[in-house]
Amino acid sequence: MLDQGAPPHDRRATAPASLGVAARLMRRKPVERLVAEGGHGEGGSLRRSLGLWQLTMISIGATLGTGIFVVLGEAVPKAGPAVTLSFVIAGLTALFSALSYAELAGTIPVSGSSYSYAYATMGELIAWVCGWCLLLEYGVSVAAVAVGWGEYLNELLDGTIGVTIPTALSAPPGDGGIFNLPALIVVLLAMAFLLGGAKESARANTVMVCVKIAALVLFCAIGFMGFRSGNYANFMPLGMAGVSGAAATLFFSYIGFDAASTAGEEAKNAQRDLPRAIMLSLVIVTALYVLVAAVAVGAKPWRKFNDSEAALAQIMKDVTGQSFWGTLLAFCAVIAIASVVLTVLYGQTRILFAMSRDGLVPKIFAKVHPKTGAPRANTVIVSVFCGVLAAAIPLGQLADATSIGTLFAFALVNIAVVVLRRTRPNMKRTFRVPLSPVLPALGLAFCVWMMGSLSTVTWIVFGVWMAVGLVFYFVYGYRRSRLATGEDLAVTAEK
C-alpha cells in the first residue's frame, strides 16, 4: 500500500553494531516499519478516532491564539504598523514548510511528525536532533502560552469581581513575580483532559476553537469602529530589519499547524485527512491573524503597544470606553489560550511516545493505558515539566527559544521531502508538493533567514539545548535504539 516496488535492502536501515560509528548514526528506519508500528505502545495501543474535522480543529487549536492573544503586544513595537507584513512573511514561511509537512504526513502517517520523517530519510542522528528540537518547539511553547493565559485571567477577574491575582503569584521571576500560579494551573487542566483520551480531548478542543474564532470576529467588528487611517501613516518606521525581527518572533504563532501530523496514529484515515487538515488550518489561521493585526494597529497607535500580553482586551476597552467588551474578550481569550495549551501539549506527548517506542528515550513515555488509549505517564511527566517551566520563565525568552527550535525542525522537513522523493520515488503519496524541489528549497531558505533574525542570546540558548541533547543521545539513545538492538515493537505488540 505504501510503496510500489520497494528498494533493495538498505544497510543503513538495519546497521548492526559491528559497523562503524558513522554508519550507525546514519541508520534509517524503513517507512514500512514506521507505519507498521503505528499505534502500538507499551501495554496498549492508541485508538483511531479522529476525522478531518477533529484534525483540523487540533491544528487550529494549537495555532490560533498564540500570536494574536499573546505575542502581538511584543511584536508591534518591533515592526510598527508593518506588523501585518510580518504576519504575512511568517505565514509564507509556514506555508512552504506546511506543503512539505502535508506530503510527508500523508506518506508517513505516524505520531512522530518531523522526527519520524527525518528518521526515514536522513538517519538516526538527524532524527534525534529533529526530535530534540520538537521538544523545544512543543514543550516550551506550552509554557510560553500558559504565561499569556495568566494575563487574560487577571483581566477577566478584574472585570468581573474586581480582584486580581497578586503579581508575586501571577508573574515569573524576572517579571516582578515569584511564581506564575495561573500558568501552572492551565497546564494541569489541559493534562486532566488529555488523560481522558484523544477523542474526549478533541471534543473539548473543538468547542474552545469555536469560542476563540467568535472572539476574534467580535474584536474585528468592535475594533474597526476605532480604526484611524493615520495610525498607518509611517508604515515601516523601523525598516525591514524591524519587520523581519517581528516576523521571526511571530513565527512562534504558526507552530501549531503541524499539530495534526502528531495525531497520525489516532486518525481514522490518516493518509487522506492529515494533508488536508494541515493546509486548511494554516489558511484559516493566517487570514485571521492578518485581519486582527490590521484592525489592532488601526485602532491603537503602534507606539502605545507596551508589551502587554493582553493587548486585544486593552484595545476593546479603549475603543468602547467600557470595560464590558474587554472583559468579554478576556473570557474568550482564557478559553482560547487554554485550547492552545491543550493541543500543543497533546502534540508533545505523541512525539515523545514515538521517540520512546524507537528506544531513544525511556520506555515509560510509550506506555499506553488500556482503558483510555492515552499515554498517561507520558502526559503527567510532560505536563508537570511544562507547568513548572511556565511558572518560572518570562514569556519573551520562551517565545524566541520556541521559534528557533521550530524553524530548525521545519528546515529539516523541507530537506526530508526532497530526500524521500529521490530515494523512494514510487511510494504512494496522497499529496505532493508542487514545483518540488523549488518550493521546499524556498521553505528551507526562509527558515534559515528567519533564524538569522533571532538574537544572539536565543542562539546561545539553542546551542546549549542542542549540546545537552547530543550528550543524552550518546549516553542513552545511541545504544538503546531499537534499530541498534534489533527489537521490533510492532511484532511484539501483535503477539
Nearest Cα to 466, choosing from 24, 139, 142, 131? 131
Nearest Cα to 142, choosing from 417, 341, 374, 413? 341
Q: What angle do CA 286, 289, 292 make, to 5 degrees?
A: 145
Quote the CA–CA distance of 186 and 339 in Å, as a whole number. 10
Nearest Cα to 340, choosing from 280, 390, 267, 290? 390
- For residues 254-293, b (16+ Cβ closer than 10 Å) or e, as one string? bbbbbbbbbbbbbbeebbebbbbbbbbbbebbbebbbbbb
Peptide bond into 437 cis (omega under 30): yes
Quote the CA–CA distance of 83 and 250 in Å, as a whole number. 9
Q: Where are the alpha helices (DSSP H) in 224-322?
A: 239-250, 270-299, 311-320
pLDDT, tens digit only, all 495 positions of the chain: 444 444 444 444 444 445 577 777 888 888 888 888 877 877 778 888 889 999 999 999 888 866 676 677 778 888 889 999 998 888 888 889 999 999 999 999 988 889 999 999 999 999 999 999 888 777 777 777 787 787 778 878 887 888 888 888 877 777 777 888 888 899 999 999 999 888 888 899 999 999 889 888 988 999 888 888 888 988 898 888 888 888 877 876 787 788 888 888 889 998 899 999 999 999 899 889 889 999 999 988 888 887 555 677 778 888 888 878 778 877 887 888 889 889 989 989 999 999 999 999 999 999 998 888 889 999 999 999 888 888 887 666 666 667 788 888 889 999 999 999 999 998 889 999 999 899 999 999 988 887 887 788 888 888 888 999 999 999 998 888 888 776 554 444 433
